[in-house]
Structure 1
């Protein structure tokens, strides 16, 4: 199954890489990462550029 998480805040998680791995193991293939500030949005973009399954 290929699920999509349509709203998350990976910048608020201590270890986003572990969260991404757990999401993949649970069948989540695409994640929409939302920023709540300019800095958080920049972090969201960085994560999306480094991770194929994450979009902003």
Structure 2
């Protein structure tokens, strides 16, 4: 809560950043599995989702 006050970011933004972190962890785990399976389609899907999450994270950090 103190971070919200210090950064001046709305609570929704802070909550969304937390959700994005969890989604990033999940996608990285899924990408790792795809790499072990040598599944190119699954790897590309994960990379696209990771890029989308990265862009959203950057927007929220600004």
Q: Point out the structure with max Rg over C-alpha.
A: 2
What is the TM-score of this pair, normalised by structure 1?
0.33
Higher relative helix content:
2
Higher relative contact order (Cα pairs below 8 Å, separated by 6+ residues): 1
TM-score using structure 2 length: 0.30
Higher strand share: 1
